Amino acid sequence: MSLSPDKVGLFLRSQAEELERIWRDARAASRPDVFPGLIDGLVAPFFLRAGELLGSGAAPEEVWQGLVGIVRWAPALEPDELKEEWALLVEVLVAACESVNASRDAADWLARAASSAAAGTAALVRRHGKAPEGVVTAVVFSSVSPRQPGAERPEA
C-alpha cells in the first residue's frame, strides 16, 4: 500500500531538516569546489512548503511562488550549477518518496514542484523572471571556492 499525498506531506514537513542535511552532504560531495550551495537557503523551505501544499489540491508551481529564502548567484559560475543543485534535491525527494512508499501522484507532484522551482531560479539568474516576494537573490562577487586550511596565514 502506498502513502497518500497528505501523509507524504506530513513526512516532508517533519523531516525537512534531515532532508536538508542529506541534500547538503550530497551537494558537498558532488560539488566540493563551490561553497556554499547556491540554493542552500531554499532547500529546507522547499521541503516545508511542498509538505504543506502536497495533498491540499494546490498546483505544484505554488511551492516556488510561496518560497521564502535566499538564492546565491555567482556570475563567474555557469547557469547549469543551479540545475545541478536542483537535480540533487530531486534525488533526495525520490529517495524520500521511495523510503515511505509514496504514491505515484505524490512523487509526480513533487517532481513538478522541484522543476518549477528550478526554472524559477534559472530565470532569476538570467534576469528573465521575477522572484516570489519571499525569495532574495544575493549576487556573490567573491570566490565561491572553499577556503583551504592555512591559505590565509602570512608567510614568516
Give per-residue pLDDT as tens, 24-63.
999 999 988 777 788 999 999 999 999 999 989 999 999 9
CA–CA distance, 151 with 60 (Å, rounded to integer): 45
Q: What is the pLDDT of residues 57-72, one digit of tens each?
A: 999 999 999 999 999 8
Helix (H), strand (E) at residue 116: helix 104-125
What's the predicted TM-score (pTM) here? 0.87
Please provide residue 139's backbone torsions phi and psi, each rounded to the nearest 5 degrees: -85, 125
The domains of the chain are located at: 5-139
